[in-house]
Amino acid sequence: MKWVKAPEALKAFIEKAMEGKPCEKRPMFGYPAFFTNGYMSVGLFQDKLFTRLSPSQQESLGKRYGPLPNLEPMAGRPMAGYFVLPERLYKDAAAFDAVIDEALSFAQSLPPKAKKRPGKTPPAKRGTKKGREG
């Protein structure tokens, strides 16, 4: 399945919404994403806007907007804790801003994610290719 580009209007919207927020912009899946405390917190995937939600936030938003679908960049492989936000939520600037602030607070409450140390990838185990004996 071919991925589609994010609509320019949605990219502009998320860029403006995230201005001044305590996060770092980095690409993820080739789309803009925002990281807090080392964790991806908010981003775009194709024409979808997603965020990482605490269990209580997911429940609260689910009651107001109906079940929130998990972000699923690869079919059958949902990303736990990441949910696609309904378009009607981000049409309401105040409600959207509150959701994003709460999502960023949740990411900040998590233990800092360890940075990966640069180094060599460990060599593959010998004798693991098909047709070889160990």
Report the distance separating Cα 70 and Cα 50, nearest Å. Answer: 9
Give the tokens for residue 4. 């589609």
Place of tokens 């775009």: 44
Beta strands in the chain (DSSP E): 24-28, 31-36, 39-45, 48-52, 70-74, 77-84
**Which residues are bridge partners to 42 per DSSP?**
34, 51
* CATH C-level class of 8-109: alpha beta
Neighbours of 41 (CB within 10 A): 27
| Alpha helix (H) residue ranges in 22-115 | 55-65, 87-90, 93-109
Per-residue pLDDT of the chain (134 residues), as tens digits, is 677 899 999 999 999 999 999 999 999 988 999 999 999 999 999 999 999 999 999 999 999 999 999 999 888 999 999 999 999 998 888 999 999 999 999 999 999 887 776 666 555 555 555 555 44
pTM score: 0.80
Domain positions in the chain are 8-109
